[in-house]
A and B are shown apart, each in its own frame.
Chain A
Amino acid sequence: MISQRVHRDLARAISAVENRIVPLSAARATLAAQGHRPAAARADVIGITGPPGAGKSTLADQMIEGLRAAGETVAVIAVDPSSPFTHGAVLGDRVRMQRHAGDVGVFIRSMASREAGGGLAPATRDAVRLAEAAGFDVILVETVGVGQVELEVVAVADCIIVVTVPALGDSVQTIKAGLTEIADIFVVNMADRPGANRTAVELKHMVHEGRRDIPVLQTIAQDGTGVAELLAAIAVYRGAEAANTGRAVRFEVMRRARDRAALAAAALLDSPEGAGVFAQLSAHQIGRNDAVDTLLAMLGGPVHAH
């Protein structure tokens, strides 16, 4: 049963784990000792990510309304970047969701990414687990999907929504850079702006190329348009633990494979063989395209990705 006391105890548990005062297991035990029980075997974890300004918080706010109307309790973990220089942060996501402040069935927690030393990803995952232990039915994790850390966090979700807006310049390209592997649903928000349909079509093409069946939805988070359809699309993924673990594995493999390949490429470019190719380039014996093809051939494998 979610109560004010649950809020207080959960908030303190998250702090204790985030600041590494106690490990996750101890914090969970404390919640149990305080009389809090999980609502079901597992909570459903929904990740919301995308570039800044896409309207993620506003969308989350509308989703909360829909979930609450269906009688579910919701915990939100909103992650904002810390300053790499001062390690401070301004956490402003809850402003968009604060009409739920008087609803005890909603818990909103902001976390700074504290990127130096990779402190966050475990802390956010732990916060998710604690919210589950405290008895919330659904957990929304909202991150700005531009850093590796945020992607790792989101990878633990049962369903990941990637939000973009029309005409955000190279938005589709930005999405390509890493989020395609983990997206379960694409949302084009601010769908009343020009370019919405075009962006949706571009995403559908990209999805089709990747040969996965990912819905591309349009929403206007401001007034709630499309949110009911979004919640219905999410429902398919809820309780899908297998998909979640599978995705985490896929993501990890892709990430490490990319890192490995990058290391190999860097080594080749700095090697004597690589230097030889650059010498030929400087002497105008080969052109730029040939230089690239030659170096890639040295690495082995196909020269062009299909």
Chain B
Amino acid sequence: MPIKVPVTKPGLDGHDRGAKIVARALRDAGMEVVYTGLHQTPEMIVTAAVQEDVDVIGVSILSGAHMTIFPKIMNLLREREVDDIVVIGGGVIQEADVPKLQALGVREIFNAEATTQQLIDGIERVVAEFGRDRTRRAAASLP
């Protein structure tokens, strides 16, 4: 069962070189990547994640606005009662902010020097550890 992951760029920043390379690399690793494009609001990201029933949301932020964006995404996931979707991020995120993001529930932050293999391994790991076990859930919800 392929991992399904949206690669998202919230906010107004348009630098998508990294996001596109990640999308290709994840595809080459056998994942199904939903590319949501640029200029996403947290609402658009969460809507896509819910409708696509993804395992993990990848958020790319280079603009420094991560302490505004991530809380909004986590809140929306809670509101929509899908707080079992794992959230990870990458880009230009100061070391000092990483623990704050983890406290919000962001499972992993990849800095710009992470290799694509590290990213792939990291996604597989967080999905295995924190992600939904679809088999169990689907079976449990049968009448």
Judge A-B direct contact (beta carbons within 8 Å): yes
* A residues with CB within 8 A of B: 4-5, 7-8, 11-12, 14-16, 19, 21-22, 26, 29-30, 33-34, 82-83, 86-92, 94-95, 98, 101-102, 107-110, 112
Contacts known (A86-B29, A86-B30, A91-B35); A30 close to B53, Cβ less than 8 A: no
Shortest beta-carbon distance from A143 to chain B in Å: 16
Q: In the bound complex, do residue B36 and residue A95 qualify as a contact, i.e. CB atoms below 8 Å apart?
A: yes
B108 interfacial by beta-carbon distance below 8 Å: no
9 A-B pairs in the complex with CB atoms less than 8 angstroms apart: A15-B4, A83-B28, A88-B28, A91-B35, A98-B36, A101-B48, A102-B44, A107-B51, A112-B2
Q: Choose one: B35, B48, B52, B134; the contact of A90 (CB below 8 Å).
A: B35
Q: In the bound complex, do residue B35 and residue A95 qualify as a contact, i.e. CB atoms below 8 Å apart?
A: yes
Contacts known (A92-B35, A101-B47); A15 close to B53, Cβ less than 8 A: yes
Q: In the bound complex, do residue B80 and residue A88 qualify as a contact, i.e. CB atoms below 8 Å apart?
A: no
CA gap between A88 and B25 in the complex, in Å = 10
The majority secondary structure among interface residues of chain B is mixed
Q: In the bound complex, do residue B80 and residue A4 qualify as a contact, i.e. CB atoms below 8 Å apart?
A: yes
CA gap between A112 and B32 in the complex, in Å = 7
B101 interfacial by beta-carbon distance below 8 Å: no
Chain B residues within an 8 Å CB radius of A14: 53
CA gap between A87 and B23 in the complex, in Å = 14
Chain B residues within an 8 Å CB radius of A11: 50-53
Chain A residues within an 8 Å CB radius of B137: 12
Number of A-B contacts (CB under 8 A): 105
Shortest beta-carbon distance from A252 to chain B in Å: 29
Q: In the bound complex, do residue A91 and residue B51 qualify as a contact, i.e. CB atoms below 8 Å apart?
A: no
B105 interfacial by beta-carbon distance below 8 Å: no
Q: Choose one: A29, A30, A101, A112; the contact of B44 (CB below 8 Å).
A: A101
Q: In the bound complex, do residue B34 and residue A91 qualify as a contact, i.e. CB atoms below 8 Å apart?
A: yes
- Residues of B within 8 Å of A, CB-based: how many? 37
Name the residue in A14, A34, A95 with the highest tally of chain B Cβ atoms < 10 Å from its Cβ. A95
Chain A residues within an 8 Å CB radius of B4: 15
Contacts known (A86-B28, A87-B2, A112-B2); A98 close to B44, Cβ less than 8 A: yes
Shortest beta-carbon distance from A133 to chain B in Å: 14
Which A-chain residue is minimally distant from B37 (CB atoms)? A95
Contact with A along B41-55 (1 / 0, CB 8 A): 101100110111100
B139 interfacial by beta-carbon distance below 8 Å: yes
B107 interfacial by beta-carbon distance below 8 Å: no
CA gap between A29 and B138 in the complex, in Å = 12
Chain A residues within an 8 Å CB radius of B143: 29-30, 33
Q: In the bound complex, do residue B36 and residue A21 qualify as a contact, i.e. CB atoms below 8 Å apart?
A: no
Chain B residues within an 8 Å CB radius of A34: 141
B94 interfacial by beta-carbon distance below 8 Å: no
Shortest beta-carbon distance from B1 to chain A in Å: 5
Contacts known (A88-B31, A98-B44, A101-B48); A8 close to B81, Cβ less than 8 A: yes
CA gap between A82 and B26 in the complex, in Å = 12
Q: In the bound complex, do residue A88 and residue B142 qualify as a contact, i.e. CB atoms below 8 Å apart?
A: no
Chain A residues within an 8 Å CB radius of B44: 98, 101-102
